[in-house]
Amino acid sequence: MLKAPLLILNMVLFLLILYGLYFMQRKRLSFSKRVFTALGVGIVFGFALQWAYASNRDPLTASIDWFDIVGSGYVKLLQMIVIPLIFISILMTFTKMKLSNNTGKIAGLIIAILIGTTAIAAAIGVAAALGFDLKAVQIEQGDAELSRAEEIQGKFEEIKDQTFPQKILELLPANPFLDFTGARPTSTIAVVIFATILGLSYLGVKRKSPEQADLFAKIVESLHAVVMRMVTLVLRLTPYGVFAMMTKAVATTDVGSVLKLGKFVIASYAALLAMFAVHLVLLAIFRLNPLIYVKKALPVLSFAFTSRSSAGTLPLNIQTQTNQLGVSEGIANLSGSFGVSIGQNGCAGIYPAMLAVMIAPTVGINPMDPVFLITLILTVAISSLGVAGVGGGATFAAILVLSAMNLPIGLAGLLISIEPLIDMGRTALNVSGSMTAGLLTGRITKELDLDVYKAKSGAEY
């Protein structure tokens, strides 16, 4: 009987907080301050809701459905602009002659850095699993774990006969119009390849028919201006989306499971933070101030953390690389796009490595055997490229690695009850990995604007 009044009360409080964030925008507080305020208030509001409705979850469930209009709605708007942004930005780099001469070198460097850092992430995942003495037998398998195991086994059946060359072929855009709809797991990379081929074709036309090429360039420039305006409009909604998503994440977290499996959560975040520190060390090695990176990247990583979507974070990722960190548009688009499904440090590096070490003793394998460890790290690195051919992030990365190591696939579902909490950190690390790849590639190719990198943060949306 109290469900409707409580729902109305929750909605009033939710709308008041949204208005508070809007008031901050009207007062022209910085984008970073608004994002972090939204993050903090979302955590507090989420815990308050969980405490208030501990004995009666119905009003909370109904409220979260309404809150999700803002949270998931924002993510959908971001996903809406991902493909147009990538396509038109890469074309623009060709018409402005910013990428054409080094396309292959840049793409190769980005992929090499992504896979290389994923190998390091795998080693850190192994160290965390061994250091915290994580074992699959320590986790009790209930209905949720068994159901997840069946689901994972079903996914494995779908891809088990697909060879590595076939996965590579999946990256190519046989039908670009289909990929513009995002219908395939590899649609993002396929659009990158299509835009690159179209850009190279433009350069060929420019040599033979300059007038036609100029007309095409003007059309691309106009479309670019419109798309970038659309990106700005959507990014202005970031604080509201972060608040709604953080509220949902905290309010719906299974605290009991987190406490029960606390050691696994702590070990996972210790590994994630260690790998983030590696990103900072790599930047320092290339004489880029890590503190500047942290300050400018935190709003992006905060959104990735709350949304659990590398693809949804892509527009904010690319905008921050170009406007705040001085990375050229071409490199930012390639590093962001490749980072969505290739060499994900969190989902394809740390996670499957930790799982493999945990599961190995169940089939009589010593997880401290040097041959096993070296094979595991190499397998994770190679599989991180293979994930791009099937999509699905952490789940498919785990399937590929466990199957290659002849370990039980179904046990990949052991951490299902704390999966959302761990996945938040994994996604943030994935995005940091792609941004680091963009920065290092820009530095190596001398296409990084150091003045922009060192300048005071001025992100305003």
Asked if residues 224 and 93 have their Cβ atoms less than 8 Å apart, the reply is no
- The pLDDT tens digits along the chain (461 residues) read 456 888 899 999 999 999 999 999 998 888 888 988 998 999 999 999 988 888 788 888 899 999 999 999 998 998 888 889 888 888 887 887 655 557 778 888 999 999 999 999 999 999 999 999 888 776 665 555 556 656 666 665 666 666 667 777 877 888 888 888 877 777 888 888 898 899 889 988 988 888 898 999 999 999 989 998 998 898 899 899 999 999 998 888 777 666 677 888 899 999 999 999 999 999 999 999 999 999 999 999 998 898 888 878 888 899 899 999 999 888 898 898 888 878 889 888 999 999 899 888 888 889 899 999 999 999 998 887 755 544 456 777 787 788 888 888 766 666 666 778 888 899 999 999 999 999 999 999 988 999 999 987 656 66
Best CA proximity match to 306, nearest among 126, 39, 115: 39
> Whose structure tokens read 């070198």?
105
Give pLDDT, residue 241: 92
* Whole-number pLDDT of residue 439: 96
CA distance 226 to 215: 17
Give counts: helices (H), strands (E), the chain. 20, 0
Q: What is the pLDDT of residue 390?
A: 44
Report whether 242 contacts 73 (CB < 8 A).
Answer: no
What does the pLDDT read at residue 188?
Answer: 80
Contact 255, 249 (CB under 8 A): no
Instruction: Tell me the CA distances in angstroms from 118 to 300, 339, 392, 419, one per residue in order.
Output: 20, 11, 17, 20
Instruction: Identify the architecture of domain 3-454 in CATH.
Output: Orthogonal Bundle (1.10)
Q: What share of the chain is helix, strand, coil (3-state, %, to 5)?
A: 80, 0, 20
